[in-house]
Amino acid sequence: MGCRCLQQCCSLPSLFIIFILFFSNFFIIYAQTDPALPSFTPINRDLYHRSDALLEEIKGLVNRHPDKLSMEILNGQNRGYEADLNVVTYCQNRKETDEKSKFRILISFGQHARELITTELALRVISILSEEQFLPKMDQVLLNRTLEKLVIKVIPMENVNGRKLVEDGDLCERRNGRGVDLNRNWSVDWGKKEKDYDPYEENPGTGPFSEPESTLMRKLSGSFEPHMWINMHSGMEALFMPYDHKNTTPDGLPSQRMKLMLKKLNYFHCENRCMVGSGGGSVGYLAHGTTTDYMFDIARVPMAFTFEIYGDITASTKDCFKMFNPVDLPTFNRVINDWSGALFTLFTMGARQMDELQSENLSESKLISIDDYLNGYLMERKSRYGKKIEVLDLGMQEIRTYFRLFLLSSVLLMFMFCSRIRKSNRTLVHALSI
């Protein structure tokens, strides 16, 4: 019986159909799950530099303009993984003036590897700072008056190792050279996982600052003490401020000031298309362990932003190059022009605030520094930065976590202790009953 059934069911044509169905399903599943498969649109090499060529161009600009620009390469390693961080500093009359008396801006591009457009924007910003290129519709004299009051540290490509993976064909890679998301590796609310957590995209690392790129960035922010931090990304059009890990913006004057600046930028440079508000409240998901939340909450940078400069929502989710980067020349130019304009407007707004606050200081004859006014946390900042103790970087988040762990272990110990007493009592009762 069994043999006849086998002959009926498994005739040659039906076996062929089953074979086809099985393998077509296999290929569909394989195509849907393998992240290493190439995306549809390749990198447009007419528009985008290779990473080493981009960094070479920047080095050339720095070498041609030593009066304004300088560059250093920081290096870090952790458990056999090594990373370089290129830092370009813009400061007019560097030797004569103290960096600390100026308005300080720290700005990072290319934290996520696949967002190539942001690194092209970095090159444009540095070209404008060198005065080899100019902003359209911007008065150069007025701009120079602003720029002489600023020190700007630019990280043109934060995630160099991840970028190499993208250039080797993994166009959807956003993480660093060993698979950690550098915008989840910071200490504010680190490691918390939402329901929609994607372990491939959002791997936060083995602990806060497990990655050399993040450690180098943290050290840089600690020594530079910026008044303004900007983290440049792509994937959508947005002007974000803290917080990323919760659905609210912070209370107080610094927060109101940030919101106002973003609204102006949205009006003048984004035709009111950009989302404005807290990252966590606007983007559609909460992000834990982000750089901007750390810069605002722990490093006490009074103005902390994340900008998303371009996104193609019509692109397939597998077509990463198209989703995160403009693919034609007119759009490429529009994005670079719009956002370099937006950044220089933001720099001008920051410098103007410094002027206003300094004149208020003079009129009120108060000898309080610009830093203290800007961050709005006079006493806190003094105690934080006065001591220069690395451990303070841990911040309240970590202290809260340790306190919770301490409470939990105390409760567990109490429980174990009580259950032992009960057990010994029971043994006594049992022994007596016999």
Catalytic residues: 308
User: Omega of the bond prior to 243 within 30 degrees of 0, cis?
Assistant: yes
Nearer to Zn ion, 227 or 233 (CB): 233
Q: Closer to Zn ion at the Cβ: 153 or 233?
A: 233
Q: Angle formed by the axes of helices 116-130 and 329-363, to 10°?
A: 60
Report, in Å, the least distance between residue 291 CB and Zn ion.
Answer: 11
Residue at token pair 């086809």:
20
Cβ at position 227, least distance to Zn ion in Å = 24
Site for Zn ion in 306-365 (CB under 5 A): none
Closest distance to Zn ion from the beta carbon of 182 (Å): 9
Asked if 110 and 307 touch (Cβ cutoff 8 Å), the reply is no
With residue 174 as reference, give the H or E element that holds it: none
User: In the complex with Zn ion, which residue's Cβ is closer, 249 or 325?
Assistant: 325
Q: What residues does 240 pair with on adjacent strands?
A: 277, 306
Piece of the chain touching Zn ion by CB under 5 A; list 45-53, 109-117, 123-131, 143-151: 109-117
Nearest distance from residue 201's CB to Zn ion, in Å?
Answer: 10
Q: Compute how many residues bind Zn ion; rule: CB under 5 A.
A: 2
Q: Which residues on neighbouring strands pair with residue 84, listed in sequence order? A: 75
**What is the smallest separation between the CB atom of 298 and Zn ion, expressed in angstroms?**
21
Pairing mode, if any, of strands 69-78 and 81-91?
antiparallel
Q: Which is nearer to Zn ion, 114 or 269 (CB)?
A: 114
DSSP string, 219-276: HHHHHH--SEEEEEE-SEEEEEES-SSSSSPPPSHHHHHHHHHHHHHHHHHSTT-SEE
Contact assessment for residue 107 and residue 152, using Cβ atoms and an 8 Å cutoff: yes
Is residue 104 a contact point for Zn ion (CB under 5 A)?
no
Name which position in 102, 104, 112, 184 contacts Zn ion (CB under 5 A).
112
Cα–Cα distances in angstroms (integers) from residue 139 to residues 136, 264, 355, in the given order: 9, 19, 19
**Short-list 212, 113, 125, CA closest to 164:** 113
In the bound complex, what is the minimum distance in angstroms from residue 244's beta carbon to Zn ion? 12
CB of 32 to Zn ion, least distance (A): 23
Residues 231-270, mask of contacts with Zn ion (x by CB under 5 A): --x-------------------------------------
| Rounded Cα distance, 139 and 254, in Å | 29
d(CA 292, CA 279): 9
The residue among 233 and 322 lying less far from Zn ion, judged by its C-beta, is 233
Q: Are 119 and 157 in contact (CB under 8 A)?
A: yes
CA-CA-CA-CA dihedral for 363, 365, 370, 372, to nearest 10:
-130
Smallest separation, CB 415 to Zn ion (Å):
44
Residue 160 CB contacts under 8 Å (≥ 6 apart), including other chains: 51, 55, 83, 84, 86, 110
150 versus 172: smaller Cβ distance to Zn ion: 172
List the structure tokens of 39.
Answer: 């995306």
Residue with Cβ nearer Zn ion (184 or 233): 233
What is the Cα–Cα distance from 384 to 372, expressed in whole angstroms?
12
Taking the least distance from each CB to Zn ion, the nearer of 196 and 251 is: 196
Residue 175 identity: R
Could you give the string, one character per residue 53-72, with x where binding to Zn ion holds by CB under 5 A and - elsewhere? --------------------
Q: For Zn ion, what does the binding mask look like between residues 218 and 237, x meaning CB under 5 A?
A: ---------------x----
DSSP SS3 for 307:
strand
- The tokens of 49 are what? 């530099």
- Which residues sit at the interface with Zn ion, rule CB under 5 A? 112, 233
